[in-house]
Amino acid sequence: MTTYKAWEVTGSRNFRFVDRELVDPEPHQVRLRVEYCGVCHSDVLAAEGLRADPEQPIVPGHEVVGVIDAVGAGVTAWQVGERVGVGFLAGHCGECDPCRRGDFVNCRHQQQTGTTVDGGYAEVVYARTSGLVRVPGDFPAAEAAPLLCAGLTTFTALHKAAGRPGALVAVQGIGGLGHLALQYARSLGHRVAAIARGGEKEALARELGAHHYIDSTDEDVAGALQDLGGASAILATAASGSSMSPLVAGLAPHGRLLVLGAAPDPVQAQTADLIFGNRVIQGHLTGTPIENEDNLAFSAANGIRPRIETFPLSEAPKAYEHMLSGRARFRAVLDAG
């Protein structure tokens, strides 16, 4: 085998299924045979041309699970045959100021898988070893893939902001991120409130771990949260700043609104809601590779799984459109096998 199949994209949704030359990995890189790749909303950065040079072909996809089939010079801790994952952050440099202070997520020289370097809409991926995640051999690869981004993002947000076990945690939006956040929050011992539009998702939300359900079209969300004692943390996963804004008043003292959903419109807050109660609005990106291994171990131990729909690699543009339409229940995953 001297070539492999990959989906390149240029401009806005100009997908091309191409043959690429198979080459050896560079120093401190490995080459993976992709098994599965999740289709994430952040793939819009590549597919919609939201990059510095949208005419430069890029392979989208950053929820990659595969098997190492070659290692580059200087690689000693990773072996051919290991199953590994690659998330949105493509590997920290270890030398910049944030890295020297242990803040690997904000590495100044970190590339983004599927956005600034080629990702997993392909049969083969090349990856820095500093970005690799060990995937347990008994964890289904198709289900592990979405946990590498959607799972990690919600898992680390809860760890950093949710407070003591038993504290009220609210999850706004029961979609690709939210359906995982409910499972994590319940497994971490929190009281869990799900917030969504309409009543049709209540049964699912309770099945996924919610103790309470708040229909944002039928009641005042902040008031409902305060009636429950106020939220220690609210994970806002819906891609709408206007829907996040009213949530601030539902926080308990020292509570945090964690913004996980990237929205085109701003989040707004009354200054009094921030000052009285010392409340915080905070963005949250993702986590480190080792935190991702913790995430997979925790998910395996607690039966946390994404709900997925699989598509063959040959139908990647269809899977992307399905995700973008909001019809996916709840994560689309490409099968590259």
At 1, the pLDDT band (50, 70, 90 cuts) reads: confident
Q: What percent of the chain has pLDDT over 90?
A: 97
Q: Residue 219 has what pLDDT?
A: 95
So what's the pLDDT on residue 161?
A: 87
Task: State mean pLDDT over 162-167.
Answer: 88
Q: Taking all residues of the chain, what is their mean pLDDT, rounded to a whole number? A: 97
Q: Which residues pair with 308 in a beta bridge?
A: 331
Q: Is the model's pLDDT at 162 over the cut of 90?
A: no
Per-residue confidence (pLDDT) for residue 70, from 0 to 100 = 98
**Domains of the chain, residue spans:** 3-135+307-335, 151-283
127: which 2 tokens?
């990856």
Mean pLDDT, residues 182-196:
97
Burial of 311 (0-12, 13-18, 19+ CB in 10 A): buried
> Quick one: tokens of 220?
């005042």
pLDDT, tens digit (0-9, with 9 covering 90-100), for 96-153: 999 999 999 999 999 999 999 999 999 999 999 999 999 999 999 999 999 999 999 9
Cβ distance 145 to 121 under 8 Å?
no
> What confidence score (pLDDT) does residue 14 get?
98
Residues linked to residue 16 through DSSP beta bridges, in sequence order: 8
pLDDT, mean of residues 79-103: 98
- Cross-strand pairs, 215: 196
Joined together, the tokens standing for residue 186 give 């319940």
**pLDDT digit string, tens, across residues 259-297:** 999 999 999 999 999 999 999 999 999 999 999 999 999
CA–CA separation, 245 vs 270, rounded Å?
Answer: 9
- What residue spans of 174-313 are helical by DSSP H? 178-187, 202-208, 221-227, 241-244, 271-275, 289-302
Q: For residues 48 and 43, give the distance between their C-alpha atoms in angstroms, rounded to a whole number.
A: 8
In the chain, the amino acid numbered 329 is R
H helix or E strand, kind and range, residue 7: strand 3-10
How far apart, in whole angstroms, are the C-alpha atoms of residue 321 and residue 328? 9
Q: What is the pTM of this model?
A: 0.96
The H or E element spanning position 154 is helix 152-161
Cα–Cα distance, 189 to 172 (Å, whole number):
18
Residues 254-261 have a mean pLDDT of: 96
User: CB within 8 A of 108, min separation 6: which ones?
Assistant: 93, 96, 97, 98, 99
Topology at the third CATH level for domain 3-135+307-335? Quinone Oxidoreductase; Chain A, domain 1 (3.90.180)
Domain 151-283: give its CATH superfamily: NAD(P)-binding Rossmann-like Domain (3.40.50.720)
Q: What is the spatial distance between Cα 256 and Cα 172, in angstroms, rounded to a whole number?
A: 13
- Whole-Å CA distances, 157 to 160, 180, 237: 5, 12, 11
